[in-house]
Each structure stands twice: as structure tokens, then as C-alpha cells.
Structure 1
């Protein structure tokens, strides 16, 4: 995966995707959810996350208390010690990683804590869930991070212009 090319392409199409987001707000919720799920399935038939891992290289998931407790247990640490070692609070008050790429990303792009990874990682990129209307802003932002989301938004955008 050529991430430099992806970054340029995703940035150049961002304003188009912004217009798509505005059009998608008018689509019936069930129709939007079903179309996103269908395009999500197609995108991930073509895109291998292990070849990319851009999400893990550039952004941090939000760590919920349950995620922190679970990972602290894996590392045989107290939750506070895990926080001190790996996390800080962002401007919204959420726990996020201290640095990028993710501390738990292996050189082979595999997650070293995959079975115990945070909920946000399990659900990423959130394009196959219900109530897409509520996360269109997040999905738009993810077009700059995830090639699959970019592909989905490009497709759904071309359909919404018809």
C-alpha cells in the first residue's frame, strides 16, 4: 500500500467528501446503514489491513476504562501503572496513546495485543455499523486515515450525485 499516494489523494478529495457528507444526511437512515455495510464488505475484500495499518501508525484509539483494565491485566500491571506507562488524556478528556505509531503495533503490522485490543480498534473503521448518520463527521475524518473508508466514501459519493 502506497500511503504517501493515499495521503495526497485523500486530501485532494476531502472537499468532495465534505459535500458527500452533506448529501448523505438526507438519505434515510436504514438505506444509509445498509449501503455503508455493503460497501464496507466489498472494500475489505480488496484491502488488507495488515498491508496498511495506517490507522495504527497515525492515530490513537480512545481507551475506555474496561480497555485499560483488560490490557493492564494482560501486562500484569495495575490500571494506573498502565495509564502512566502508555496513555494520557486528550483535549476532550479521553485516554489516548502517548505516541504514534501505536506502541502495540508490530513491525509486521500485526497488533501485539489483538485479542485484548481496545473497543475502538475492534470497531474501526466503523463503516459497518448502524446509525451511520450519527457518525458521518467521524467517517469523513477517517477518509484521511483509512483507504477503505476513502474508497467507501468515494463510491457512496458518486452514487449520491446521480
Structure 2
């Protein structure tokens, strides 16, 4: 998977993608949630995250208190020890990873805590949510990181024209 090629295309198409997504916000089609789910399923039928894992290598998820408790328990650690070892508080006062790539990313791009991974990881790249237009700015950012997010926006465009 050529991540640089995807990123270059995403940069070139940012204005076009923003216009498309903003149009969905102004006048969403009645069946938008259906189109979004179908497009998401099609994209992830074609793209295997394990060939990429760019999100795990370049961006850190936000860790909620529930995430911290769940993962610490899984690792047989105290929540405070887990936080001290792996997390820091960022400028927005969110708990995020101290370092990237993610400590839990294995050499084969699998996740060593997949069953208990943070909510943010489970939902990424947010291409299967209802009222997708509520996260336009996030979706544009994700197209720069995630080939599936880029492909999703490209296919949404085609699926709305049909």
C-alpha cells in the first residue's frame, strides 16, 4: 500500500472533499446513513487495515477513563501505573500515548490489546457513523492518514451521484 500516494491525493482533493461533505451537512439525502454504511462496508471489504496501520504509527487515540480501567485490568496493572507508563496529558487535557508508534502495535500490524483497545481505536476512521456530516473536519483529517477514509470519501461522492 503506497501511503505517500494516498496522502498526496488526499491533499490535492481536500477542497473537493470539504465541499462534498459540507454539501451533505446543508442538504443530507434521506438515505445518507444507508449510503454511508454501505460505502463503509464496501471500502473495508477491499482495504485491509493490517497492510497499513498508519493510524497506529502516526496518531495516538484519546484514552477515556473507561479505556484506562479496562486496558489496565487486562494487563494486570493498576490504572495509575498504566497511565504513568504509557500516557501523558496533552494540551487539550486529554490522555494520549506518550510515544508513537503505539506501544501495543505488533510487528505484523496487529494490536496486542485488540479485544480491549480504546474506544477511539474501535471507531476509527469513523466511516460507519450516523449523521456523518457532524464530523466533516475530522473526516478530512483522517483522509490524510487513512487510505480507507480517503477511499470512503471518494466512493461517497460516486454513490451520491448514482
TM-score for both structures, normalised by structure 1: 0.91
Q: What residue in structure 1 maps to residue 103 of structure 2?
A: 103
Displacement of 1:29? 6.6
Q: What residue in structure 2 maps to residue 27 of structure 1?
A: 27
1:139 alignment partner, SS class: helix
Q: Which moved more, 1:107-116 or 1:152-161?
A: 152-161
Unaligned runs of 5+ in 2: none
Whole-angstrom CA distance in 2 between matches of 1:114 and 1:66: 15
Q: What residue in structure 1 maps to residue 120 of structure 2?
A: 120
User: 1:26-84 deviations in whole A, cap 9, x for unaligned?
Assistant: 23375222211111010011000000111111111111101101111122221111111
Do the aligned residues in 2 keep the contact of 1:88 with 1:96 (CA within 8 Å)?
yes
Q: Which moved more, 1:101-110 or 1:67-76?
A: 67-76
Do the aligned residues in 1 keep the contact of 2:35 with 2:159 (CA within 8 Å)?
no
Whole-angstrom CA distance in 2 between matches of 1:32 and 1:145: 24
1:13 aligns with 2:6: no
Whole-angstrom CA distance in 1 between matches of 2:6 and 2:124: 18
Q: What residue in structure 2 maps to residue 55 of structure 1?
A: 55
Alpha-carbon RMSD: 1.7
Q: What residue in structure 1 maps to residue 82 of structure 2?
A: 82
Unaligned runs of 5+ in 1: none
Displacement of 1:18? 1.6
TM-score for both structures, normalised by structure 2: 0.91
Q: Which moved more, 1:24-33 or 1:132-141?
A: 24-33
